[in-house]
Amino acid sequence: MVERPAIAWRSAGSGPVSGPRVIRLGVIADTHGLFDPAIEEHFAGVEAILHAGDIGYPAVIEQLERISPVTAVSGNIDDYEHSGFPRKIIFHRGGLKLAMCHVLYENGKMTKEAQAWLDHKRPAACLFGHSHRPTIEHYGATLLFNPGSAGPRRFSLPRGIGILSIEQGNITACCIRLADRSVRSGQSIRIHQEK
């Protein structure tokens, strides 16, 4: 059963979570070739950046790597494994098993493949994208986290990124809303791949 608590947004001026034993990870998805410079401020000081797919172009990863090391999975617009990034991964941070994939839900429902994968792997958290819908909920003991889309605004959904914090075996997620357009107007970097 999926439990859906209300999303709590952190404003731009809230500052980072702090404490001597907190691991902060930046979470981003669905950039679709857009790098918003506002991300730099929000991800300052994170241990790593986790990109949950639909990167768009490798140059987006290069921009993120200027902030912190990046771990990424591919999404449907990345042509999955042909992009050089895996479709899904399991990794460890702060003593916890984490999972990341792009497609966890299709048409508002968790896919049978995703459910079987989570049941088998039993991660503390699973990071995902695809829907562009900011999501913080639980599937059993697993925290499910989609920060929303950091790319061009689509549908009526807000743009966003997130922070995953791990402290003494506890994991929390926080959505950070991005402006509908770049914070520094006109300075978003729309990356185009040359042919």
Q: Where are the domains of the chain?
A: 21-190
What is the model's pLDDT at position 184?
45
Strand partners, 174: 163
Q: Per residue in 84-134, pLDDT tens?
A: 999 999 999 999 999 999 999 999 999 999 999 999 999 999 999 999 999
Q: How far is CA 186 from the centre of its chain?
A: 24
pTM, two decimal places: 0.85
- Could you tell me whether strands 125-127 and 135-139 are parallel, antiparallel, or unpaired per DSSP bridges? unpaired
Residue 60: CB atoms within 10 A of its CB come to 24
CATH of 21-190, one of 3.30.70.100, 3.60.21.10, 3.20.20.140, 3.50.50.60: 3.60.21.10
Q: Which of 105, 70, 66, 103 is nearest to 84 (CA)?
A: 70
| % of the chain exceeding 70 in pLDDT | 83
Distance CA 90, CA 114 (A): 13
